[in-house]
Amino acid sequence: MGMSENPVDLLPELCVLGGVVVALLTGLFVPRGRQWLAVALGAAGAGAGLIAALVAAGRGDGMTFEAFLLDPVTHVTRVTVLGAALVVLALAAGPLRGHRRETEFTVLVLLAALGTILLGASADLLVLVAAYLLASIPAYVLAGFAKDARGTEAALKYYLMGALLGVLMLAGVTVLFGLGRGTSYATLSQNLAHAPPGAVTAGLVALLAGLLFKAGAVPAHHWVPDVTEGAPPVVAAFVTTVPKIGAFAALFRVATDVVPSSAPGPELFAVLAAATMTLGNLAAFAQTNVRRLLAYSTISQAGYLLVPVAVATRTDLAEPALLYYLAAYVVTNLGAFAVVLTTNTDTLTDYRALATRSPALAVSLAVLLLGLIGTPPTAVFVGKLLMFTAAIDAGYTWLAAVALANTVASVFYYLRWLTPVFTRPEDPPPPPRLHRPTILLTYTLATATLALGLLSGLTLLP
Amino acid sequence: MLSLVIFLPLAAALVLLAVRRIGDRAAVPVWIAVAAVDLALVLVLWARYDGAGLAHETRLRWIPSVGAGYHVGVDGLSLPLLAMSAVLFLCCAVYSLRSTPRPRACAALFLALQTVCLGLFAALDLLLFFVFFDLSIVGMYFVIAGWGHGERARSALQFFLYTFFGSLVLLLGFLGLYLGSAPRTFDIVDLTHDPPLTGSPGVAALVLLAVGVGLAVKTPIVPFHTWLPPAHTDAPAAGSAILAGVLLKMGTYGFARIAMPLLPDAWRRYAWVIIVLGVVSVLYGALVALAQRNLKRLVAYTSVSHMGYIVLALGVAGLAGDAAAHRLAVTGAVTQMVSHGLVTGALFLLCGVLYDRAGSYDLDRFGGLARAAPAFAVLTALAAFASLGLPGLSGFIAEFQIFAGTLGGGAPVPGALALLGVLITAALFLHVLQRTVLGAPGPLTARVTDLTRSERTAVTPLLALSVLIGLAPRWLLDTIEPASTALINALAP
């Protein structure tokens, strides 16, 4: 693996950072009515970063600055995070146009995205902690962005949990540093094998606390429903989607590069995966608020995403499974939130007879929800297929069976949302306020989930 | 060409949805035209099929990293089912010409469903097969939820959950086949040439269990049949016809296309289990049907019974014994798939006529329909006789071969028991005819007006084909027999 200290290797991250700085400065000097200029400059930075990331993905693997890995996991993390951040900025264009703190929103989203990329690319525990903070703190602020009672409560809960689990994570890093005599993954993987397994396991569990918090997985999932429901919808779309990408990339690296074979890593991840998908599903059953329903759905999806992490060391299929599922989930989940933003309502019953009011939106919602179930030929289906295959290949057939049972159960609540959409109208609710660009974005995301599934061969070429 | 046949209806569906200028009035005529063109194309495919092996193949890469591709092709097993599906979809289109609510969406949905069904019968890749298998559930869910009656939302949800469970178990089975193959592939043709898991009978048994359960839910085989009656009761007539006529065949076709040739050793080892399940389905379905007062539930349970004959015949093919008898049984099974599709499709459309006129399926409230609706009475009687296997109709050709193959192929006792099922079916259909067509008029008889032209045009071809197969089956059997021989050879130890 090539080592270097070439700043060009970090071009995508530098582009985003440049975008952040330029946007912040522009926002300070332009009047409120023209804040879109700052937003556009920030988005341009992220767009440039996305292009740089796509170009970089064609190059070979390596490591830069002794802490930043350049490999498929990083490439996919960069592309999905920046793509998702751009989608979130586009989704925010409707509700936040002319808002007093429009620039701040852009800056916070981009900073959190930057932290998320670092989280996923880091090969050193100290960088991981710094990335955790960079990814988390802007997200806390975003959760309270609306300055209303529910948003504030959500932000406080989010912050307190994040701070607590962050401290725990730092403690874990300290323990592993002591045991492994270093913080880089390479050093740790050499030294931890000879350290006492009990202490290593304790350190790992503490380290995982922070990563599971970012991933929204059990047992660090309690913030997800509150933030998803309490924060503005566009923020909910962001915090349930983007931080997960970096968290799962980091979890995958920890599982493959740090956990020594003496520690019960795969077993631990497998149990967490089963618990996460099951608890998320069970809680989703009774929801009547679509954002809360989506919140629990993202928890159960985090459970499926933990399956490839559990089998990371046992099958070559784990890496494509994780990366493909992540990208598929991000597109589909953002699409579902785009529908919520388009219709501007959270109540399940308000979706009655949506098909008669806006057939194309109803079809998009059907594609997206069936996509979240994992119906072919959508993208999540391919992700789930790879996930099942990886689990069985690694000898975790029981985990595949649990995931299967959960998938069947999830049909129930996704269809609870979908069924009223296609009912015949008796007293249809008033037509929703539809924001034109958001609708187009929804259609694009729904089409993207189909295209990503049908053309998966192009993205999965070995 | 085959891909055109498969995707033409889907393309038409998208056009119907996208072009709003095609109003509600033109939607069903467009649907009929597309279904007719598709049927013509299927017949061209059949005419150009030379009678041996696979033809009209297309093989493209789809997800190369797991060895899955877009691989379609036809042989004697799939051609009759493709043609039967195309006929049934065309008849459903004609049937829907009069009084279909929201015709544009309905036409688009059925056209999309047609692509799914044709795609499944042409798929030669496990993953592609699964994609169509799963999409058929989604399509039928929307048919029941959108155009059904009664407790349609509940029935649709139950249908989705139950059959989706089956399809995911099937997927696990497919993954087992994939992981057990070397080199790893999802391609059915490659896997047939080199069956996976030959060295590990324990794993093969588990994989057969998963594939078997997945397909058994769809077929349905007792005890996995409980989703079928409510789904049928609340589905619209055309939806029921497609569900019974085409979707159920996906299960039995899956046994013949995937389970038998890909897991031949396990199939032979557990042949008796399959035979017993088949016989239980035959007898249980017939007995429960006998007790029904709701005409649609009754027809649904006879479907369970008729699917049982197919399972029985395919199970017998796994026994040690006379290969000629086994070939006869398999040919009979495929004939039964075609025959059941035509006849039960017709029966469900006729049930739909009753519901359209009187809003009820209750057998006891009709009577003397022969006088009130003579055309309805004649076609219902013909369909009932075809369903109970009267000589001269397609059901007889199918069941005769199945029984001859079963009795001669090493399973005389199950064969004799299944014959009992024919007796019960005969009794129950005669009873139905007595209660509805003959006898004194019931309270709802006055409401039943005779068939309209579109209804007559929809039902008559289905029964005419049944008569044609019953009187001159050679053209059909000549296509099926080489495929049966190939299947028996693949199954041979």
Note the pLDDT tens digit of each residue in A324-335: 999 999 999 999
What does the alpha-carbon distance between residue A360 and residue B105 come to, in Å, rounded to a whole number?
A: 12
pTM equals: 0.93
How many other β-carbons are positioned within 10 Å of the β-carbon of residue A28?
A: 9
A295 Cβ neighbours under 8 A, 6+ residues apart: A224, A225, A227, A228, A229, A236, A240
**pLDDT more than 90, % of chain B:** 79
pLDDT at residue A272 tops 90: yes
**Sign of the CA dihedral running B334, B336, B340, B342:** positive
CB proximity A408 to B under 8 Å: yes
Q: Do B134 and A370 touch (CB under 8 A)?
A: no
ipTM for the whole complex:
0.89
> If you average pLDDT over each of A78-87, A254-263, B102-111, which comes out highest?
A78-87
SS3 of B132-147: HHHHHHHHHHHHHHHH
A320–B contact, CB cutoff 8 A: yes
Q: What is the pLDDT of residues B253-309, one digit of tens each?
A: 999 999 999 999 999 999 999 999 999 999 999 999 999 999 999 999 999 999 999
Contact pairs from chain A to chain B, CB under 8 Å: 78
Mean pLDDT of B62-75: 86
pLDDT of A462 reads: 43
A38 and A106 in contact (C-beta within 8 Å)? yes
Pick from B159, B170, B158: which is nearest to B207 by CA?
Answer: B170
For A411, nearest residue in chain B (alpha carbons): B161
- Please tell me what DSSP assigns to residue B55: E
A70 three-class SS: strand
Domain locations in chain B as residue ranges: 271-493
Is pLDDT at A207 greater than 60 in this prediction? yes
Q: What is the mean pLDDT of residues A51-78?
A: 89
Instruction: Residue A317: list chain B partners with CB under 8 A.
Output: 66
Considering only CB atoms, which chain A residues are within 8 Å of B131?
376-377, 381
Q: Would an 8 Å CB–CB cutoff place B131 in contact with chain A?
A: yes
Min mean pLDDT across A413-427, B65-79, B175-189 is at A413-427
Set of chain B residues whose Cβ sits within 8 Å of the Cβ of A375 = 134-135, 138
Judge: A423–B131 Cβ closer than 8 Å, yes or no: no
Tell me which chain A residues have a C-beta less than 8 angstroms from the C-beta of B17.
359, 363
pLDDT bucket at B166, cuts 50 / 70 / 90? very high
Indicate whether A284 belongs to any domain. Answer: yes
Please tell me the distance in Å from B246's CA to the nearest CA on chain A: 20
Q: A308 is in which domain, residue-wise? A: 267-462
A435, pLDDT greater than 80 = no
**C-alpha–C-alpha distance, residues A300 and A290, integer Å:** 15
Q: Closest to B161 (Cβ–Cβ): which among A359, A411, A461?
A: A411
Is B183 in the A-facing interface, judged by CB distances under 8 Å? no
**Is A370 in CB contact (< 8 Å) with chain B?**
yes
Q: How many Å apart are CA B220 and CA B243, to the nearest integer?
A: 11
Is A30 within the bounds of a domain?
A: no
State the helix-helix crossing angle for B323-358 and B295-316, rounded to 10 degrees. Answer: 170
Comparing alpha-carbon positions, the chain B residue that sits nearest to A375 is: B134
Any domain includes A290: yes
Asked if the Cβ–Cβ distance from A457 to B61 is below 8 Å, we say yes
How far off is chain A from B195, nearest CA to CA, in Å?
Answer: 19
Contact B178 A389 (CB under 8 A): yes
CA–centroid distance for A181 within its chain: 32
Nearest to B146 among A359, A412, A422 (CB): A422
Q: Flag whether residue A388 sits within 8 Å of chain B, measured between CB atoms.
A: yes
State the Cα angle at A203 between A202 and A208, rounded to 5°. 100
The answer to whether position A444 is within a domain reads: yes
Give the model's pLDDT for residue B51: 78
Chain A neighbours among B 51-110 (CB < 8 Å)?
61-66, 101, 105
B19 in reach of chain A (CB within 8 A)? no
A114, containing H or E segment: helix A102-121
Q: Which residue of B has its CA nearest to A425?
A: B146
Any idea which residue has 């725990």 for tokens?
A: A168
Test B63 with A382 for CB contact under 8 angstroms: yes
Tokens representing B478 are: 């000549």
Residues B161, A408: C-beta atoms closer than 8 Å: yes
Which chain B residues touch A376 with a CB distance below 8 Å? Answer: 130-131, 134-135
Using CB atoms, which residue from A375, A400, A415 is nearest to B172?
A: A400
Closest residue, chain A, to B20 (C-alpha): A359
A293 within domain boundaries:
yes
What is the band of B20 on the pLDDT scale with cuts at 50, 70, 90? confident
Q: Is A458 on the interface with B (CB under 8 A)?
A: no
Per-residue pLDDT, A460: 58
As for how many domains chain A has, the answer is 1
- pLDDT value for A188: 92
Per-residue pLDDT, B410: 86
What token pair was written down for A296?
């629990």
**Segment among A222-231, B80-89, B439-448 with least mean pLDDT:** B439-448
The pLDDT value recorded for residue B243 is: 95
Q: Phi and psi (nearest 5°) for A219?
A: -95, 15
Summarize pLDDT for A214-256 with one digit per residue, the tens. Answer: 999 989 999 999 999 999 999 999 999 999 999 999 999 999 9
DSSP assignment string, A219-252: TS-THHHHHHHHS-HHHHHHHTTHHHHHHHHHHH
- Torsion angle of the four alpha carbons A338, A342, A347, A349, in this order, in degrees rounded to the nearest 10: -110
Q: CB distance from A412 to chain B under 8 Å?
A: yes
Q: Is residue A419 part of a domain?
A: yes
How does DSSP assign B432-457, residue by residue? HHHHHTSSS--TTGGG-PPPPHHHHH
Of A413, A422, A447, which to mutate for an interface test with B (greatest number of B Cβ within 10 Å)? Answer: A422
- The CA–CA distances, whole Å, from A274 to A161, A253, A279, B478 equal 22, 20, 9, 53
**Token digits of residue A435:** 């924001």
Which residue does chain A place closest to B129, by CA atoms?
A: A376
Give how far A30 is from chain B: nearest CA, Å: 43
The single-letter code of the amino acid at B162 is: Y
Read off the pLDDT of each residue in A313-339 and give the average, rounded to a whole number. Answer: 94
Contact B131 A377 (CB under 8 A): yes
Min mean pLDDT across A26-35, B30-39, B266-275 is at A26-35
Which one is predicted more confidently, B122 or A460? B122
For position A434, what pLDDT does the model report?
67
For all residues of chain A together, what is the average pLDDT? 91
Cα(B110)–Cα(B235) distance, rounded to whole angstroms?
13
**Do A408 and B176 lie within an 8 Å CB cutoff?**
no
- Cα separation, B146 vs B151, in Å, equals 11
Element (H, E) at A62: strand A62-64
CA distance B266 to B87: 35
